[in-house]
Amino acid sequence: MRIRTLAVGLLAGGLALTTLTACGKEGTPATPGSGDQSGSNAPAALSYPVATGVDLAGSPVFAKMKSAGALTVGAKDDQPGLGLKDPTTGKFGGFDIEIAKLVSAGLGFDPEKITFRTVDSGAREQTIANGDVNYYVGTYSITDKRKGLVSFAGPYFLAGQDLLVRKDDSSITGPETLKGKKVCSVTGSTPIQKVRSQNLTEPNNIVEFQKYSQCVEKLLSKDVDAVTTDDAILKGYAAQDPDNLKVVGKTFSTEKYGIGLNKDDKVLRDKVNDILQKAIDDGTWKKIYDATLGKSGSEAKVPTLEKY
């Protein structure tokens, strides 16, 4: 079984997967690093009116967008139901991608002209600080430490850390059973930091890659015993290969996904929060969820924005 092949089939069939939560990467081990790609494979029913006359005086990032006449948005490319790049068409789709398009329209830019740039978890802060992306939407957990480096709008989604294991493995039932087990996650992600800080397994049993898809491959080949990240992401992988993978189903954190922005651009952050709040209030957020993650049968957890 190859994760990539299954991911292609799911995208082609329009199947969006699971309630997600996390910081992961694509269904096929792609070359670590970043890649640029325009467009999205969004459900045709979703569309967002493009705002007119938007003026964000005092926002250097918005001024850069206006000058360019287009947006570059950081995203994940390997997370089923959240942010997944179709290797056949090169298009991006999922809940996070739709949120990125919603924000684009609210800022006055045609969502279909977004260039999505794949950014690995460990490179997010630097990519935002460098101005290589205008904003980042990709299972980016809001933490106090990260607030010291970037700014966040949101949260726009709520998730929880969980474990993905082989279906025939009954020895792992939660985080308390990870001692002596090899646990895989993405370098720089919140989940791997939690495994390390809480001493859930021995340091030499912690395995890190640039993409979650690489961890899943190692799990299937029995080189690691568990993959950990947000439950939404893990459910997507389990849905791709239900005969061999399962999610333990015992979350041990609450993750709040935010939109990553330049740290000093409060004007843009406030505007993005306004766009998100309007989408929550008028039902657009729920429509996006139902068209993507909601297809898994999971119920939406509508977030409460935490403005600062």
φ and ψ at residue 9, rounded to 5 degrees: -65, -40
Question: Residue 154 to residues 49, 97, 142: CA-CA distances in angstroms?
Answer: 21, 15, 9
Nearest in space to 150 (alpha carbons), one of 175, 133, 163, 162: 133
Q: Where in the chain is the domain with CATH 3.40.190.10?
A: 3-158+257-296, 161-247
Q: Kindly write down the DSSP assignment for every residue of the chain, as one continuous string.
A: --HHHHHHHHHHTT-------S----SS-PPSS-EEEE-----TT---PPP-S---TT-HHHHHHHHHTS-EEEE-SEETTTEEE-TTT--EESHHHHHHHHHHHHTT--GGG-EEEE--GGGHHHHHHHTSSSEE-SS-B--HHHHTTSEEEEEEEEE-EEEEEETT--S--SGGG-TTS-EEEETT-HHHHHHHHTT-S-GGGEEEES-HHHHHHHHHTTS-SEEEEEHHHHHHHHHH-TTTEEE-------EEEEEEE-TT-HHHHHHHHHHHHHHHHTTHHHHHHHHTGGGGTPPP--------
pLDDT averages per 10-residue partition of the chain, 308 residues: 41 38 36 45 75 97 96 94 93 96 98 94 95 97 95 96 96 98 94 96 97 96 97 84 90 94 97 99 95 76 94
Query: What is the pTM (predicted TM-score) of this model?
Result: 0.75
Q: Identify the residue whose tokens are 């993959």.
A: 227
Is the CATH code 3.40.190.10 the one for domain 3-158+257-296?
Answer: yes
In sequence order, which residues have a C-beta less than 8 Å from that of residue 242 and are 6 or more positions away?
167
Please answer whether residues 1 and 244 qualify as being in contact, where contact means their C-beta atoms are separated by less than 8 angstroms. yes
Fold of the 161-247 domain: D-Maltodextrin-Binding Protein; domain 2 (3.40.190)
- pLDDT at site 258: 99
- pLDDT at site 270: 98
Q: How many whole angstroms separate alpha carbon 21 and alpha carbon 181?
A: 23
- pLDDT at site 157: 96
In DSSP terms, 257 is beta-bridged to: 141, 157
Q: How many whole angstroms separate alpha carbon 54 and alpha carbon 62?
A: 10
Q: Is the peptide bond before 155 cis (omega within 30 degrees of 0)?
A: yes
- pLDDT at site 194: 95
